[in-house]
């Protein structure tokens, strides 16, 4: 009898699990859901999404589902139902209908990493307020007046140091260079005079930023959260010191934050301020250093592109009255082929593999319904690597951008910096940093690749073996 009862209970359990799985994978809503699979309950298709691959191509996860279901399909990632869009028209709609049909909303794991009050989660007046605040640092006027000269000096100094070494790992060196510049501008941080190594905390943070979200000691995700915790402690200490002794003028971005916090009716809170600084520090150096490292790798592999780039920058120097004078804003804006190289590099880099939004109401798209509250992930790589948009999309061909107007905002076919009202406020900073560094590199130095340079995507871009090279002064 006991055996019979146990067998019956087991059968009922199996049937219930099957019913649960059936309901999970075939959820019913008003209207017809996009095609796709929800995977396993809670886990969804998260493991497949984070599976590494080593090409510039669209991720196998996305590509397989595009072939099976079409340009728009449903899935579940880290317990959240999500529709992935590889359709330029739908992507454009998502960006243009920010605050009406969609709002910025990232998975809970991203909120844990970047903070509950991070700028990506804020909208309306608060988002516009923070954007205006950030433009004090990354806006065109400040880039033109101070950043350009600071970037050139930093690039020249670091290249001079690197040329004395037999080998450098380029990604690490560029990351350190940009981090030192941005931390000085953002929070007045000088690594040489600080007892705490802020960059090492960010390095730990970055290793697990786009990794499988299991918060267990030893995992990349756990190290990521620990890196954030330590970095926030450093920022809290610096902010507390500034709050005690505020200055009358904004020498750096933290001074501006303190000025806002000490106002009569402050809009900012300390939590929002810390999350904002944290995101800015990450975004300003990590994404740009990845793009610059890839640019040098691609130039190494394509000597004709390097020759044309060098020709442009040598021409700039030859046209000066004083060849040793610094880069002017007019010279920067004249670097047409450099912008082509930058556009092509970031198109292939696809550093941001997905841009997340949430539906505010049921959305009807091509006969399908995306339910209110569901996530939607715009997939830039699927657009940037679409052969119907870019001929031979996996090839590095800066000439494809010739005679095209400078891209100062996102378009249906180019969204490396996002689009709509949330177009990245740091895009001009990144392009300026890349152009200035490349100018200093190709006019004064040559280099030899030693080892590494291979890429991996998880799905974010990485260099698992680094990119080691020797920097040599030009003869």
Binding residues: 424
Residue 188, exposed/middle/buried by CB under 10 A (0-12, 13-18, 19+)?
A: middle
- The separation between CA 27 and the C-alpha centre of its own chain, rounded to angstroms, equals 33
Q: How far is CA 58 from CA 52, 290, 387, in A?
A: 12, 18, 11
The token pair at 295 is: 């640019």
Q: Which residues are annotated as a binding site for heme?
A: 424
- Residue 316 main-chain phi, psi, to 5 deg: -65, -45
45-50 long-range Cβ contacts below 8 angstroms, 24+ apart: 45/75, 45/76, 45/77, 46/76, 46/77, 46/78, 46/212, 46/213, 47/212, 49/75, 49/77, 49/459, 50/210, 50/211, 50/212, 50/458, 50/459
The answer to whether the CB of 309 falls within 8 A of the CB of 299 is yes
Q: What is the number of residues in the chain?
A: 475
- CB atoms under 10 Å from CB of 277, counted, come to 21
Task: Read off the tokens for 473.
Answer: 């002064």
Tell me which DSSP letter residue 4 carries. H
Best CA proximity match to 416, nearest among 309, 302, 359, 339: 339
Q: 């006991």: which residue's tokens?
A: 2
Q: To which H or E segment does residue 355 belong?
A: strand 355-359
| Cα gap 72→136, rounded to integer Å | 38
- Residues 457, 54 contacting (CB under 8 angstroms): yes
């Amino acid at each position: 009898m006991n055996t019979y009862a146990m067998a019956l209970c087991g059968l009922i359990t199996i049937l219930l699990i099957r019913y649960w799985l059936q309901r999970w994978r075939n959820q019913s809503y008003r209207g017809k859901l996009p095609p796709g699979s929800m995977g396993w309950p809670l886990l969804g298709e998260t493991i497949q999404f984070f599976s590494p691959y080593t090409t510039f191509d669209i991720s196998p996860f996305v590509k397989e589902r595009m072939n099976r279901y079409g340009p728009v399909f449903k899935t579940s990632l880290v317990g959240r139902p999500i529709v992935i869009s590889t359709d330029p028209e739908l992507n454009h709609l998502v960006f243009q209908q920010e605050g009406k049909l969609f709002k910025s909303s990232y998975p809970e794991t991203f909120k844990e990493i970047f903070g509950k009050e991070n700028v990506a989660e804020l909208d309306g007046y608060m988002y516009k307020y923070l954007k205006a605040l950030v433009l004090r640092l990354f806006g065109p006027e400040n880039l033109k007046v101070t950043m350009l000269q600071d970037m050139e000096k930093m690039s020249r100094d670091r290249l001079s140091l690197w040329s004395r070494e037999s080998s450098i790992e380029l990604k690490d060196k560029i990351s350190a260079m940009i981090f030192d510049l941005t931390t000085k501008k953002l929070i007045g941080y000088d690594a040489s005079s600080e007892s705490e190594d802020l960059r090492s905390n960010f390095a730990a943070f970055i290793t697990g930023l786009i990794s499988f979200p299991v918060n267990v000691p030893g995992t990349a995700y756990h190290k990521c959260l620990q890196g954030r915790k330590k970095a926030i402690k450093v920022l809290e200490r610096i902010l507390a010191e500034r709050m005690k002794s505020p200055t009358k003028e904004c020498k750096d971005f933290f001074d501006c934050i303190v000025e806002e916090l000490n106002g009569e009716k402050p809009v900012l809170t300390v939590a929002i301020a810390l999350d904002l600084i944290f995101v800015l520090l990450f975004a300003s150096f990590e994404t740009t250093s990845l793009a610059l490292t890839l640019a040098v790798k691609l130039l190494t592999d394509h000597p004709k592109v390097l020759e044309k780039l060098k020709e442009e920058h040598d021409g700039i120097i030859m046209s000066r009255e004083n060849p040793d004078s610094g880069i002017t804003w007019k010279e920067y804006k004249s670097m047409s082929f450099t912008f082509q190289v930058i556009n092509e590099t970031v198109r292939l880099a696809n550093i941001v593999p997905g841009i997340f939004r949430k539906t505010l109401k049921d959305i009807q798209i091509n006969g399908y319904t995306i339910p209110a509250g569901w996530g939607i992930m715009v997939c830039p790589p699927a657009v940037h690597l679409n052969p119907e948009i870019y001929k031979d999309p996996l090839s590095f061909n800066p000439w494809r951008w010739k005679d095209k107007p400078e891209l100062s905002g996102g378009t249906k076919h180019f969204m490396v910096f996002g689009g709509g009202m949330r177009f990245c406020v740091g895009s001009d900073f990144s392009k300026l940093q890349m152009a200035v560094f490349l100018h200093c590199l190709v006019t004064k130095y040559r280099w030899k690749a030693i080892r590494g340079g291979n890429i991996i995507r998880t799905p974010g871009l990485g260099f698992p073996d680094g990119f080691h090279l020797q920097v040599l002064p030009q003869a």
